[in-house]
């Protein structure tokens, strides 16, 4: 895959020389041919070919598992036509469903759980339609065949997407396969966006420049934010700046600074240049499924739906918690017994530690953990106050002398938190959710932070897979609030998978 690279001369903000005889309009047309995204069609084509291979393997594999190598039409289950025709039709319908749900949309490839959600929905939809067709036409087909093909294909597609996402993330961390982004708006909002993006190397944008209000033309040596992004001029120079820095995406962080007419003119100019336009809504950490554009009197109003935690969503999450928690307890029961014996042999004291935490709607509950510290650890906090490395109301000490030898191993791999599975089975906690706070900690929450208490606390969450103890207080709160605002079953499954990777890597655990 290829990516656009900026020379040292360009990255410093120096204006690009125009070719002799070229006017400004010609320069914009040149940029429209130079900033095409070479990585996107190649990446989408590779995924499309992988989809064909995975679906074909699933359909053929289901045939071999259910009927063996026989291609006898009667053995296939009474479907009219040769089995090869039926398999070909199923493969074509499956691929068509993936295209209907736009699973190759460049905007979702490699970012967020939306890609996985679309793939899973497409797989369930095609088999739902087939079930209706079989029922209406009263076809005598083998249900076992489709029962094998659906999970095989769905799992294979999700795994293949994950593999491609990992490859894309590695490339983006090296500055490849990214959209070249020009950030536009007020100085404060531009600085916030550029700094946030600079802290996430695997995100799909590389900020190559900015246009800031009230910055005179020719101030190319000016930079903004801790990432020191070069500033290319004022808000009326956005189109020229996009051409100069070869941006293929422009993000407007302060639409009010433009006005309606100027925003419309900007969108037309960027369209002619084949440059995407993004507009920040001014509401942070709200995911796309809750947003809908509602046009009124020619004005595109952004409707933000309220987070929904009741009804079917609540039942789905409860089912995931209870079934998933029970399966994990059964699978890890030998590990739980081994850890309990090791703690009892290591130091005197109880095997388990129970502390009072606050759950959904500030209801207190007793949270279970394996004891990883000496029995009188709480009484020793005052002696360690000067070594506190935690931010906000959190108390954290990297080399805590209260931790036992076995406790250090348990904490390194987060094994001390396994007894929280009993809290999950009891209904006081969830597998995925915000971090369960102490009562003293929750008493310091303001209105924004208090939104963490709208859902059950979890054994793991975005905070667990995004740095754990290395996160600042503000960043951990932002991640918890983001989870509460955008909860979905697919997001929970992605977090559980990322948790396994985070625990194995032991990054941020102490």
Residues 6+ apart with CB under 8 A from 54: 153, 156, 157, 160
Mark residue 168 as left, alpha or beta (left: phi above 0; alpha: psi -120 to 50; beta: remaining): alpha
Residues 338 and 469 in one domain: yes
- Tell me if 449 is assigned to some domain: yes
For the chain, what percent of residues have pLDDT higher than 70?
76
pLDDT score of 99? 94
pLDDT score of 187? 87
Residues 29 and 47 in one domain: no
pLDDT per position as a tens digit, 245-263: 989 899 998 887 887 788 8
- Tell me if 510 is assigned to some domain: no
- Tell me if 289 is assigned to some domain: no
For the chain, what percent of residues have pLDDT higher than 90?
27
CA pair distance 342, 312, nearest whole angstrom: 42
pLDDT per position as a tens digit, 485-505: 778 888 888 888 888 877 766
Highest-scoring range by mean pLDDT, 202-206, 301-305, 375-379 = 202-206
Residues 451 and 334 in one domain: yes
- Separation in Å, CA 509 to CA 293, 353, 364, 483: 42, 19, 26, 21
Residues 87 and 23 in one domain: no
* pTM metric for this prediction: 0.66
pLDDT score of 308? 65
- Tell me if 307 is assigned to some domain: no
- Tell me if 291 is assigned to some domain: no
Tell me how far apart the terminal alpha carbons of the chain are, to the nearest angstrom: 39
Residues 391 and 265 in one domain: no
- Tell me if 356 is assigned to some domain: yes
- Tell me if 232 is assigned to some domain: yes
For the chain, what is the mean pLDDT? Answer: 79
pLDDT score of 305? 66
Q: Is 348 exposed, middle or buried (0-12, 13-18, 19+ CB in 10 A)?
A: exposed
Residues 187 and 332 in one domain: no
Higher-pLDDT residue of 97, 83: 97
Residues 209 and 344 in one domain: no
Domain residue limits at 103: 39-173
Q: Does the pLDDT of residue 161 top 90, yes or no?
A: yes
CA pair distance 384, 443, nearest whole angstrom: 22
pLDDT per position as a tens digit, 189-214: 888 888 888 877 778 888 999 999 87
State which of 113, 143, 173 marks the end of a domain. 173
Q: Quickly state the pLDDT bin for 76 (edges 50, 70, 90).
A: very low
Q: Which of 42-51, 54-63, 205-214 has the lowest mean pLDDT?
A: 205-214
State which of 263, 280, 297 marks the end of a domain. 280
Higher-pLDDT residue of 32, 141: 141
Residues 346 and 489 in one domain: yes
Higher-pLDDT residue of 193, 81: 193
Q: Does the pLDDT of residue 108 top 90, yes or no?
A: no
Residues 201 and 343 in one domain: no
State which of 137, 157, 173 marks the end of a domain. 173
Distance, CA of 369 to chain centre: 28
Average pLDDT, integer, range 420-437:
92
DSSP 109-136: TTSSSHHHHHHHHHHHHHHHHHHHHHHH
CA-nearest of 154, 145, 150 to 62 is 145
- Tell me if 102 is assigned to some domain: yes
pLDDT per position as a tens digit, 480-489: 888 887 788 8
Residues 223 and 240 in one domain: yes
As for how many domains the chain has, the answer is 3
Q: Quickly state the pLDDT bin for 91 (edges 50, 70, 90).
A: very high
The CATH number assigned to the domain holding 20 equals 3.40.50
Residues 184 and 202 in one domain: yes
Q: Quickly state the pLDDT bin for 338 (edges 50, 70, 90).
A: very high
Q: Quickly state the pLDDT bin for 468 (edges 50, 70, 90).
A: low
pLDDT score of 14? 38
Residues 329 and 457 in one domain: yes
């Amino acid at each position: 895959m290829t990516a656009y690279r900026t020379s040292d001369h360009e990255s410093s903000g120096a204006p690009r020389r125009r070719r002799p005889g070229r006017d400004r309009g010609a320069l914009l047309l040149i940029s429209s041919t130079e900033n095409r995204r070479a990585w996107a069609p190649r990446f989408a084509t590779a995924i499309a070919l992988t989809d064909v291979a995975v679906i074909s393997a699933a359909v053929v594999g289901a045939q071999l598992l259910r009927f063996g190598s026989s291609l006898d039409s009667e053995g296939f289950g009474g479907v009219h036509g040769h089995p090869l025709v039926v398999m070909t039709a199923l493969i074509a319908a499956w691929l068509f469903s993936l295209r209907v749900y736009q699973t190759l949309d460049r905007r979702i490839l490699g970012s967020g759980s939306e890609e996985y959600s679309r793939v899973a929905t497409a797989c369930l939809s095609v088999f739902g339609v087939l079930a209706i067709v079989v029922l209406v036409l009263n076809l005598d087909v083998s249900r076992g065949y489709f029962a094998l093909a659906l999970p095989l294909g769905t799992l294979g597609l999700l795994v293949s997407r994950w593999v491609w996402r990992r490859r894309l993330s590695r490339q983006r961390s090296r500055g490849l396969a990214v959209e070249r982004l020009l950030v536009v708006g007020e100085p404060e909002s531009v600085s916030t966006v550029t700094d946030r993006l600079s802290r996430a190397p695997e995100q799909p944008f590389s900020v190559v420049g900015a246009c800031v209000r009230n910055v005179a033309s020719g101030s190319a040596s000016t930079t903004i934010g801790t990432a020191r992004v070069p500033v290319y001029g004022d808000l009326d120079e956005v189109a020229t700046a996009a051409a100069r820095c070869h941006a293929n995406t422009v993000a407007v962080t302060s639409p009010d600074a433009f006005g309606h007419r100027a925003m419309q003119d900007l969108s037309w100019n960027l369209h002619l240049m084949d440059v995407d336009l993004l507009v920040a809504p001014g509401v942070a950490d709200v995911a796309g499924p809750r947003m809908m554009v509602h046009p009124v009197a020619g004005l595109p109003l952004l409707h933000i739906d309220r987070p929904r935690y009741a009804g079917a969503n609540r039942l789905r999450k409860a089912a995931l918690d209870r079934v998933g928690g029970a399966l994990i307890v059964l699978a890890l029961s030998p590990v739980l017994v081994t850890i309990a014996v090791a703690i009892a042999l290591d130091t005197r004291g109880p095997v388990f530690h129970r502390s009072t935490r606050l759950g959904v709607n500030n209801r207190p509950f007793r949270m279970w953990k394996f004891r990883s510290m000496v029995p009188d650890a709480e009484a020793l906090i005052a002696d360690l106050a000067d070594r506190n490395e935690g931010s906000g109301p959190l108390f954290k000490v990297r080399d805590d002398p209260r931790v036992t030898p076995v406790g250090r191993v348990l904490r390194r791999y987060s094994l001390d938190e396994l007894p929280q599975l009993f809290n999950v089975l009891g209904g006081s906690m969830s597998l995925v959710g915000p971090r369960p706070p102490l009562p003293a900690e929750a008493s310091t929450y303001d209105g924004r932070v208090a939104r963490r208490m709208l859902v059950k606390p979890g054994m793991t969450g975005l905070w667990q897979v995004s740095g754990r103890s290395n996160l600042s207080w503000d960043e951990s709160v932002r991640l918890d609030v983001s989870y509460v605002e955008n909860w979905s079953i697919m997001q929970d499954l992605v977090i559980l998978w990322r948790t396994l990777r985070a625990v194995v890597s032991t990054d941020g655990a102490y």
